[in-house]
Amino acid sequence: MKPIWPYLAQDYSGVYITQAKGAYLYSKSGNKILDAAGGAIVNNIGHGRKEVAEVIKQATIKNSYVLPPWTTPEREELVEELTEYWLPSELNRIHLSSGGSEANEAAIKISIQYQASKGKAKKNLILNRSLSYHGTTISMTGISGHTARKRGLESYLIEPHSIETPYPLRCPLGKHHPEAKDYYLNNLEEVIKSLGAENIAALIAEPLNGSSGGAIAPPQGYWLEAQKILTENEILLIADEVMTGFGRVGKKFACDLYGLKPDIIVAGKGMAGGYAAIAGTYTTNKIAESIKQAGYEVMFHTFAALPLSCAAATCVLKILRKEKLVEASAAIGKKLKDHLTEELKENPLVAEIRGEGLLLGIEVVKNKDTLELFEEKEKITSKIINYAFSEGVFFYPGGTGEVRDIICLGPPFIINDAEIDFIVSSLKKSLDHIKSKYL
């Protein structure tokens, strides 16, 4: 059988998964693989939950397809779950999509339409961050700061307007420099000044970088000051929480880690935990009503808000609440991070172990002191992941091409102590294998 995908940097052509259950994947060749990545940092409640399958079945029988703007019991129940238990109270207007790329694109459209509705049609530029990923559509590929996923498309993509990603390990002033926060805030102000605040609609950014950087957190205090700068310049803040939302970082949203109140939140993956294709763009009455009064449309996608997807998402979100899995993500994530630090902190290949909850990143370097990278052609990330896979654990590749080599961890929130030990020992063996080959 030919591979489904014509080309990916990571070679998955030989992987054939016949079943997934709990925290494990089962391959056609009979291997049992611990899913330490939750797929693409998606699965949170574990694989194969029969109660989710049952609500999908019932929703499909009841309402296989209904035009997205119309109300169904499944859509109504999901909106109630989101607004009563999950979303910040001010973000009570919901636009549903099939995935994160669509949802981020909707957020961009909403921010530009909002500025136009206020009589500021020229306020249409979108700020991004130098190290970021917001989706795979043409527009989101252009807006993202992800070199590898732009290759071969450069002639067609829009030119992004970038601020520097707050990256304490690699701050130009020095590793974790005490003035790193001010450096990155100054960069934000300088970019706004150079482009003109009157031309900028919004900044789109992950509060905590996802796989593009491997769970990079900004310097302490950065976000509140950055939001103040944006507010003073009437620039909307779009928080891309496609990967971090719905408990992944040990809080409902990564914004909660920093006291952020964005104008728009985008969240997807964990919303249905991999059981259905769904994501949401969440905003305020103020923004939605302004767009409505101007007579603009925020167009729906054909397969947005499928009843079966809404039913799956509602079921997953209820499981997260009832089984206290957001709290588990925080506790298990700390235990996993502490164990990784204990076992790998002296490893000469490990520059940093970082992240929150069950979104963790490990940055691998050739020289720990200078932070020199391995050459891209060495494909170190792939070699680490492939070796671990042969040991029975799957990790997720991170980085953007220019930024490498990043190993991401995002297991389901149900893993136990024995599985934590297995994840750490497997990664340690993989790194020791690379060390023996290259150092």
pLDDT in tens, 344-399: 999 999 999 999 999 999 999 999 999 999 999 999 999 999 999 999 999 999 99
Which two tokens mark 411? Answer: 């297991």
Mapped onto helix, strand or coil, the DSSP state of residue 312 is: helix
pLDDT in tens, 88-111: 999 999 999 999 999 999 999 999
Largest CA distance in the chain: 65
pLDDT the model gives residue 61: 97
Q: What are phi and psi of 315, to 5 degrees?
A: -65, -45
Domains and CATH numbers, the chain: 17-48+324-438 (3.90.1150.10), 50-322 (3.40.640.10)
pLDDT the model gives residue 162: 97
Which two tokens mark 378? Answer: 């060495």
Q: Round to whole Å and give the CA distance between 416 and 411.
A: 11
Q: Round to whole Å and give the CA distance between 232 and 219.
A: 21
pLDDT in tens, 30-77: 999 999 999 999 999 999 999 999 999 999 999 999 999 999 999 999
Whether the per-residue pLDDT at 12 is higher than 80: the answer is no
Distance of CA 412 to the CA centre of its chain: 15
